[in-house]
A and B are shown apart, each in its own frame.
Chain A
Amino acid sequence: MSDREAEVLKILKSSSQISRFKEFLKKMLHHRKALAGLIILFSLVLIAVIGYFAAPYNPFSTNAPPFQPPTRQHLLGTDYLGEDVLSWFLIGTGTSLFVGFSIAIISAFIGVLVGVTAGYFGGQVDNVLMRIVDVLLVIPGFPLLVILSAFLPPTLETTIIVLSILSWPFLSRVIRSQTLSLKQRQYVLASKLSGLSGFQIIFRDIIPNLIPIIFINVIFLAVAGVVAQAGLAFFGLGDLRSVNWGTMLYWFEAEDGIVYNAWWWLIPPGLGIVALGIGANFLGNAVYELTQPSRGGQ
């Protein structure tokens, strides 16, 4: 094959991948749930961006009276120190989302690595890796998180690392079983016969087909990460000086927001988490429906 031909083939292949992706995007936009999910998630990101650039007040400035219900100057009222809740919420959204996605990406990286290796190479490698995964999965997550966080330095980085370590096992199981079934497909056998090495096959044939599943899991991992970090912060663990949904709720609890009926302080961070969960659910389910072959219905 001449250089020219090889080049043309490469362009054709990548453009077919691009067009497949574009088709996929079109399908997504027409799917009601996917659209709803995307809108919700996008709104949250928008809030985070606004928070970063245009929060009305510095979250730590205490010029206003504490425990104020919503007013025109403070659309979401103030907290126990007179800090503006809206600013806390705007900035907190960004932090929470950042934490969630960091966890998701790190876990995904490890999880995919372990899952594909175990699934593709099988045998002893598989056994050993999966035993480790099994043990990690049985140990109850939240208590373990609590202890780890209690003993390790209380920073956001620690939280992210700890949560990542606890999240990847589940993903690796999923990836492994997908790899196992993909391994049997025709084109993988064909690649094997044409003499490609294991790693080449993994990168060319297997991983591209794992992308939808990885994407879906990253979304759900991110949500789980956000919720877990919020839970930890609520429990008083992690970096309590950070501004995020979890710490908002921590301070609400610790400073008796209940007593002051401070619903304006309680609702936004929780709603943020719920919105994230719903949006992720819609999006994840939609992608799942669109990419996984449907079981033959009658």
Chain B
Amino acid sequence: MVTLGYVIRRFIYMLITLFVAITLNFLLPRMVPGNPALLILITKYAGNFNPNQLKLIESELNLRGTLWQQYIGYWNDLLHGNLGPSYYFYPETVNQIIASRLPWTLFLLGTAMLISVIIGVIIGSYSGWKRGLSDNLLQAVSIGLTSLPYFWLALIFQLVFAVMITINGRHLFPVAQAYSITVTPGLNLPFIESVLWHSTLPIITLVITTFPGFALLMRNTVVTVLDEDYLLLAKAKGLSIKTIRKRYVNKNAMLPVTTSIALAFASIVGGAFLVEEVFSYPGIGYALYTAVTVSDYPLIEGIFLIITLTVILANFAVDLIYAYLDPRVVLK
């Protein structure tokens, strides 16, 4: 049940976690030796600069003053929504980079998660109810599928469907990117088609490795629920199988699945990064990859922050949804 106390508690908890993550984010790059401002000037201007430029960039990067002053400045920037400039994409700011890339990642993650949960729940519910062959099959297949590393599966799909197999000289799926160069972004059909076509392989990769977890969990929960006394009563009451499955079995079995969505998010985020990298998909995962390759610290931090924020918010949302679904949830 959702009570005010519960919401406040989860909210405070969320804030604390955020605080820790942000502080960590602040400290990390400052623990690495070297002066990043110097790095920028050297890379961009090949050593031709004067001390004033150095000071300027240092201020922009919040590297001047004591650690405490920098920390305050960091929070100041953050609360104004300023994540700083990127080294590599300078003068583009981190905000701009994230803003342009985040939607793609959310698109991949959201779609993959939704499809995984739906497929997983349906298969799991069916297996748990029917048992027998479908059940054994599910268990066997799940073990194999969950052992597949995201990036390897992505590479295999890419190799097979985008490179190896050709029908009449055309590949089945594109090898990279979010949409073809030939279409113009916007709400037009060619663009949407292109986006869908390009996102198929990445999404399939994510779904294949994620849905078995949900299916197994749902199946196990359904099996447990079927043993419960209230199931017997439901049958005795003469209720139709449809009603029983919907309101007595699935409704109860969905609860653990809902909590596990939060956990699944953490792992699917990692998966999305790897998949984006393989398909050069322009999401923040790929941006992070680039940032890491060129040591673009502000970008790395900014992305990490956004991801942490998103995951924490997602967890918070799931907490609330779970409280809404399970009337027994009692405040700790």
Q: Which residues of A contact B (CB under 8 A)?
A: 134-135, 138-148, 150-151, 223, 227, 230-231, 234-237, 249, 252-253, 258-259, 261, 263, 266-267, 269-270, 273-274, 276-278, 281-282, 298
**Which one of B32, B159, B303, B311 lies within 8 Å of A138 (CB-CB)?**
B311
CA distance A274 to B307 in the complex (A): 28
Q: Which residues of B contact A269 (CB under 8 A)?
A: 152
Minimum CB distance partner of A267 in chain B: B156
Quote the shortest CB–CB distance from B164 to chain A (angstroms).
6
Q: Give the interface residue-count category, chain B.
A: 35 or more
Whether the Cβ atoms of B28 and A151 lie closer than 8 Å is: yes
Query: In the complex, what residues of B have CB within 8 A of residue A150's CB?
Result: 292, 295, 300
Q: Is the CB of A259 within 8 A of B288?
A: no
The answer to whether B214 has its CB under 8 Å from any CB of chain A is: no
Which 4 A-B pairs give the minimum distances between C-beta atoms?
A277-B147, A142-B270, A270-B152, A140-B311
Chain B residues with CB under 8 A of A231: 149-151, 270, 274
**Within the complex, what minimum Cβ distance (angstroms) separates A110 from chain B?**
19
Residues of B within 8 A of A253 (CB): 151, 155, 277-278
Q: How far is the CA of A277 from the CA of B303 in the complex (A)?
A: 30
Contact call B152/A139, Cβ cutoff below 8 A: no
Contact of A273 among B16, B152, B273 (CB under 8 A): B152
Q: Which residue of chain B lies nearest to A263 when distances are taken between CB atoms in the complex?
A: B159
Give the residue of B28, B143, B163, B304 whose beta carbon is less than 8 angstroms from that of A259: B163
B292 touches A143 (CB 8 A): no
Kindly list chain B residues whose C-beta atoms are within 8 Å of the C-beta of A281: 143, 146-147
Contact of B17 with A by CB under 8 A: yes
With A150-B292, A276-B147, A278-B144 already in contact, the answer to whether A144 and B227 are too (CB < 8 A) is no
Selected contact of B308 from candidates A139, A223, A230, CB within 8 Å: A139
Any A CB within 8 A of the CB of B21: yes
What is the CB-to-nearest-CB distance from B267 to chain A, in angstroms, rounded to a whole number? 8
Q: List 26 A-B contacts (CB under 8 A).
A: A139-B308, A140-B311, A143-B288, A143-B308, A144-B304, A148-B28, A150-B295, A231-B149, A231-B150, A235-B273, A235-B277, A235-B289, A249-B152, A253-B155, A261-B163, A266-B156, A266-B159, A267-B156, A270-B149, A270-B152, A274-B144, A274-B147, A274-B148, A278-B143, A281-B143, A281-B147
Closest residue on chain B to residue A228 by CB atoms: B270
- Decide yes or no whether B31 CB sits under 8 A from chain A: yes
8 A Cβ contacts from B34-84 to A: none
Q: Please, how many angstroms separate the alpha-carbon atoms of A130 and B70 in the complex?
A: 31
* Minimal beta-carbon separation of A248 from chain B (angstroms): 10
> B273-303 interface mask toward A, CB cutoff 8 Å, 1 = contact, 0 = none?
1100110000000001100110100001101
Compute how far the CA of A154 lies from the CA of B129 in the bound complex, rounded to whole angstroms: 50
Instruction: Give B295-332 as 1s and 0s: 1 = Cβ < 8 Å from A's Cβ atoms.
Output: 10000110110011001100100000000000000000
CB distance from B162 to the nearest CB of A (A): 8
Q: Give the residue name and chain of the B residue nearest to A142 (CB).
A: B270
Whole-angstrom distance from the CB of A203 to the nearest CB of chain B?
Answer: 31
Q: In this assembly, does B222 line the interface, its C-beta being within 8 Å of a C-beta of chain A?
A: no
Q: How far is the CA of A144 from the CA of B153 in the complex (A)?
A: 23
Chain A residues whose C-beta falls within 8 Å of the C-beta of B7 in the assembled complex: none
For the complex, is B97 an interface residue (Cβ under 8 Å from A)? Answer: no
CB nearest neighbor in A for B27: A151
- Taking A146-B304, A298-B227 as given, write out 17 further A-B residue pairs in contact, using a Cβ cutoff of 8 Å, ordered by the A residue number: A138-B312, A141-B266, A150-B295, A223-B147, A235-B273, A235-B289, A236-B292, A249-B151, A253-B277, A259-B163, A267-B156, A270-B152, A270-B155, A273-B152, A277-B146, A281-B143, A282-B143
- Cα of A269 to Cα of B300 in the assembled complex, Å: 29
Tell me if B29 is interfacial: C-beta within 8 Å of chain A: yes
Q: Is the C-beta of B241 less than 8 angstroms from some C-beta in chain A?
A: no
Whether A236 contacts B147 by the Cβ 8 Å rule is: no
> For B17, B21, B149, B156, which residue has the most chain A Cβ atoms within 10 angstroms?
B149
Chain A residues within 8 Å of B156, by CB: 266-267, 270
A144, B289: Cα distance in complex, Å: 13
Closest partner residue, chain B, to A131 (CB atom): B16
* In the bound complex, CA of A47 to CA of B17 (Å): 43
Contact (A147, B311) CB under 8 Å given A236-B292, A258-B163, A278-B143:
no
CB contacts (< 8 Å) of A134 on chain B: these are: 13, 17
Contacts of A148 in B (CB 8 A): 28
Q: Closest A-chain residue to B263, C-beta based? A: A137
Q: Taking the nearest CB of chain B, how far is it from the CB of A60, in angstroms?
A: 23
Residues on the B chain within 8 Å of A273, using CB: 147-149, 152
Choose from B28, B227, B273, B295 the contact partner of A143 (Cβ within 8 Å): B273
Of A142, A249, A274, A277, most buried by chain B (CB within 10 Å of CB) is: A142
User: B29–A151 contact, CB under 8 A?
Assistant: yes
Identity of the chain A residue whose Cβ is nearest the Cβ of B175 in the assembled complex:
A258
The answer to whether B31 touches A151, judged by C-beta atoms less than 8 angstroms apart, is yes
Cα distance A44–B158 in the bound complex, in angstroms: 27
Asked if residues B274 and A234 are in contact (CB atoms below 8 Å), the reply is yes
Task: Please tell me if the beta carbons of A266 and B31 are within 8 angstroms of each other in the complex.
Answer: no
Chain A residues whose C-beta falls within 8 Å of the C-beta of B265 in the assembled complex: 140
**A261–B29 touching, CB < 8 Å:** no
Give the residues in chain B near A282, CB-CB below 8 Å.
143
The residue from A140, A259, A263 contacting B269, defined by CB atoms under 8 A apart: A140
- B133-155 CB contacts (< 8 Å) to partner A: 143-144, 146-153, 155
Q: Contact mask B150-182 → A, CB, 8 Å, 1/0?
A: 111101101100011000000000010000000
B233 within 8 A of A: no
A154 to chain B, nearest CB (A): 11
